[in-house]
């Protein structure tokens, strides 16, 4: 039998004054390593369920977080930890979504855990006698809560750090129940270094004489050990650059506490503040649950993620050295290898692992793009582009029209240098194409996310090296080959991954270019080549003749291919030409066919 107290938050008070709610499961709850006779979960909710009960967003908090994600508790001056992200008109829009955040099983913010009174003997605290629990146990407890709330499926599960690991476990454990997953600064399993840091923290607690093997009363626990554990962990949440900017070698203003440097005073404050709100046994159990989390296992990450059906976005931060960008990429790479819908964005923030808690415009835009779609910035840019149709747009349309004509319905298309995803969006909407875009620019990649286009913000060569042979019907280079190092190798790698390759490029030997160079004797500068040589980026300018000689020379390589269709546009990029294309063509589009 299930009980709960459902405290309703009226619309005019929502995200101003919010209240904690409790869900009580008064029947046995099985864990992977034991059983609880009952289970209580503390949670908050914002917004309202729609009639279909399908607009739920589940938030999963980090290691030392809690369920107070937004709004204010009565008498509080500080709002919930993601208040800047959650609310009417914000990226997690409570006018659209029913948002639920629960204190995870095993935590100490109101849910059943080591600091709770035992259901079997209310005169005792569980302490270290609380069963070892796992990330999987956490999300099963959340599922029980959502079942009570009569949620039919989750529109999106979102979490950073430990919350991101919960989000990963959700899409593995309940693939039919979750439409989207936003995994932020997470990992598929802890590295040896991270386990080592956690173990030092645990030893700090266990070495405090007041720990007493976990048998301590409230207010007289191992405060020094817990504070030191927090201080050390907090360092891993920051970055060297962030700490240097914030503290450097500055001296503290207040010298009464014998701190020589400001950073010492800061860490001391973080440790003492943490002791006032967290439990030592809980910290030990939670960090053990994190260390044991492992989606790689003996069978590999690809196998663990093989049944995932959710649309996934993984966000990493450049300065995060706890759960590094490479660890986050591993999740996406595994999903792409097995044909799943997974995108990757990397934000250049200096705040380290805790960057996902910072009120950052780039981060807010990525979340909004994933959950809602095109942002106001995208729509404004679209209106501006519609009103100023440039020669560049004409050239892109020439590319798009030819490629659209070549690509068959229901194909799999890899667009290298996809820009803002306009081509893949069009092919998806008109031909039911599954597309993956690759672009290194965050703004462009975020626009892809807003269009619902799967994208990887990554180096083209790295993405290609991760993909299996013949995993795409088409690989597209739209004016991208010129910008690559060793483009010949990249083209051959694209032919390994794709059955056909479409390549468009500006013909450098176009007659006007020859004439201008002959007349002036200096590097050509125009709309296509706008920069002087001393400030230009890497550009491999080549001609139609260069390209055909490359294809002729490379046919003896391991990957055999032939030139299929080819289209040449004149200098206006509208009219086509067939006679003397190396002289008369401004733009060339080639189809390469793997034998």
User: Annotated catalytic sites, by residue?
Assistant: 161, 320, 353
| Cα separation, 588 vs 528, whole angstroms | 14
Q: Which of 125, 103, 134, 110 is nearest to 32 (CA)?
A: 134
Give, in order, the Cα–Cα distances in Å from 252 to each of 233, 248, 249, 259.
Answer: 22, 11, 9, 7
Instruction: Work out the number of other CB atoms within 10 angstroms of the CB of residue 537.
Output: 6
| Cα separation, 306 vs 422, whole angstroms | 29
Q: Which two tokens stand for residue 582?
A: 């190396």
Alpha-carbon dihedral 244, 249, 255, 260, rounded to 10 degrees: 110
138 in Cβ contact with 166 (< 8 Å): yes
Instruction: Work out the number of other CB atoms within 10 angstroms of the CB of residue 215.
Output: 12
| Cα separation, 568 vs 23, whole angstroms | 67
Q: Which of 175, 424, 325 is nearest to 333 (CA)?
A: 325
Q: What angle do CA 388, 390, 396 make, to 5 degrees?
A: 120
341 in Cβ contact with 410 (< 8 Å): no
Place of tokens 């009580």: 24
Q: Which of 361, 368, 322, 324 is nearest to 346 (CA)?
A: 324
């Amino acid at each position: 039998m299930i009980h709960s107290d459902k405290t309703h938050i009226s619309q005019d008070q929502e995200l101003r004054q919010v209240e904690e709610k409790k869900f009580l499961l008064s029947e046995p709850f099985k864990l992977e390593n034991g059983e609880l006779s009952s289970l209580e979960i503390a949670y908050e909710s914002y917004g309202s369920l729609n009639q279909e009960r399908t607009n739920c967003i589940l938030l999963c908090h980090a290691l030392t977080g809690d369920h107070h994600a937004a709004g204010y508790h009565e008498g509080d001056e500080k709002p919930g930890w993601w208040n800047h992200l959650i609310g009417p008109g914000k990226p997690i829009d409570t006018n659209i979504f029913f948002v639920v955040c629960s204190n995870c099983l095993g935590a100490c913010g109101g849910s059943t855990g080591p600091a709770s009174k035992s259901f079997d003997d209310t005169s005792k605290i569980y302490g270290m006698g609380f069963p070892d629990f796992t990330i999987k146990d956490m999300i099963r407890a959340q599922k029980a809560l959502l079942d009570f709330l009569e949620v039919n499926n989750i529109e999106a599960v979102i979490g950073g750090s430990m919350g991101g690991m919960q989000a990963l476990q959700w899409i593995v454990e309940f693939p039919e129940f979750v439409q989207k997953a936003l995994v932020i600064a997470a990992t598929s399993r802890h590295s040896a270094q991270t386990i080592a840091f956690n173990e030092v923290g645990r030893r700090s607690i266990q070495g405090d004489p007041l720990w007493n093997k976990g048998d301590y009363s409230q207010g007289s626990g191992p405060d020094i050990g817990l504070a030191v554990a927090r201080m050390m962990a907090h360092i891993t949440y920051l970055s060297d650059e962030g700490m240097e900017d914030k503290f450097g070698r500055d001296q503290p203003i207040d010298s009464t506490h014998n701190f020589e440097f400001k950073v010492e005073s800061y860490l001391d404050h973080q440790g003492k503040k943490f002791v006032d709100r967290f439990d030592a046994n809980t910290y030990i159990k939670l960090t053990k649950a994190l260390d044991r989390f492992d989606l790689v296992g003996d069978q590999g990450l690809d196998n663990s993620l093989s049944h995932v059906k959710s649309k996934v976005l993984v966000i990493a931060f450049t300065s995060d050295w706890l759960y590094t960008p490479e660890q986050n990429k591993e999740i996406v790479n595994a999903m792409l290898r097995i044909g799943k819908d997974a995108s990757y964005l990397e934000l250049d923030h200096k705040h380290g692992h805790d960057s996902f808690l910072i009120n950052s415009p780039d981060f807010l835009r990525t979340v909004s793009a994933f959950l809602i779609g095109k942002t106001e910035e995208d729509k404004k840019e679209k209106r501006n582009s519609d009103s100023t149709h440039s020669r560049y747009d004409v050239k892109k349309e020439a590319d798009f029209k030819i490629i659209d004509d070549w690509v068959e319905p229901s194909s799999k298309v890899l667009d290298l240098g996809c820009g803002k995803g306009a081509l893949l969006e069009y092919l998806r909407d008109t031909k039911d194409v599954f597309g993956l875009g690759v672009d290194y620019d965050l703004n462009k990649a975020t626009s892809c996310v807003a269009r619902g286009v799967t994208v990887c913000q990554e180096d083209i060569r790295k993405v290609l090296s991760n993909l299996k042979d013949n995993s795409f019907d088409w690989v597209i280079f739209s004016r991208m080959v010129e910008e690559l190092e060793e483009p010949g190798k990249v083209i051959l790698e694209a032919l390994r991954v794709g059955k056909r390759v479409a390549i468009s490029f500006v013909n450098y030997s176009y007659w006007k270019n020859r004439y201008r160079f002959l007349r002036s004797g200096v590097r050509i500068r125009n709309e296509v080549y706008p920069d002087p040589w001393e400030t230009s980026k890497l550009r491999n300018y080549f001609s139609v003749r260069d390209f055909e000689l490359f294809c002729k020379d490379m046919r003896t390589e391991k990957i055999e291919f032939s030139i299929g269709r080819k289209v040449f546009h004149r200098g206006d990029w509208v009219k086509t030409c067939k006679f003397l294309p190396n002289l008369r063509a401004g733009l060339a589009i080639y189809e390469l066919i793997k034998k």
